[in-house]
Chain A
């Protein structure tokens, strides 16, 4: 497959994730959208290193680092959501306005 097909899929996936990030109100749904955008970035990195010069094992290394960071991010985010829900009985971002000036 040509490189452009992979880049198009990654761009569309990123766009869907961006829409969800802006539109959803549940914190877990926002986290899912961010993970979709990260997966799109992984597709881009792997496709570019595999099909467009450079070193394919570099793409593998970068993607594995991305997966590790995504795992750490999700663990911290989910524990924060549980703590927030315990504190204010809601994980709707429009209810969480305590820090609003």
Chain B
């Protein structure tokens, strides 16, 4: 019981620290590293909920695939870093005010909602979720597959350098 609490506290702190680094730093590479740290924290939070499979999937996909792809995209673009011009104070203050207001509103709604309590902690297995994926949610599964194929082909087509004298 205490073990899960310690994992949760540590992971939540890591996730929020990583998120602040991912958003606050000026260097885009540092942002990506902060994002990886935040996802590590999020997967720790999922681990403290008992979702070990989902935690591994988060690390694999978000850090192993998305963060690395972002690093490649930044390296492929010439305008590294970008932010040479100073940030505008009005934009920072406006963004902070809006984000704080929206967060407070969400928290008020969440706080006042009536969540039905769970009937005891149930064990869950990734194998059972896999069974559901191939029976009840098989349409969702197929849709995700098609979406990923279309997105990958589309990404290649968009990023491809168009050859001169040749269409598309």
Contact = CB atoms under 8 A, between A and B. Distances in A.
Contacts of B8: 1, 5-6
Interface in B45-93: 45-46, 48-51, 53-54, 57-58, 61-62, 65-66, 69-70, 72-74, 76-79, 82-83, 87, 91-92
Nearest to B35: A32
A83 B20 contact: no
A79 B45 contact: no
B166 interface: no
Nearest to B133: A61
B75 to A, nearest CB: 10
Contact of A50 (B28, B65, B118, B147): B118
Interface residues of A, number: 72
B103 A14 contact: yes
Contact of A75 (B50, B110, B155): B155
Contacts of A29: 23, 28, 31
A11 B110 contact: yes
Given A9-B16, A75-B155, A91-B79, A82 B39 contact: no
Interface string A1-20: 10111111101111111111
Contacts of A7: 110
B16 to A, nearest CB: 6
When A and B form their complex, which 9 residue pairs have the shortest distance between CB atoms, in order from nearest?
A: A15-B103, A20-B23, A72-B151, A79-B159, A22-B95, A19-B99, A23-B95, A79-B155, A56-B124
Interface of A: 1, 3-9, 11-20, 22-26, 28-29, 31-33, 35-36, 39, 42-43, 46-48, 50-54, 56-61, 63-65, 67-76, 78-83, 85-86, 89-92
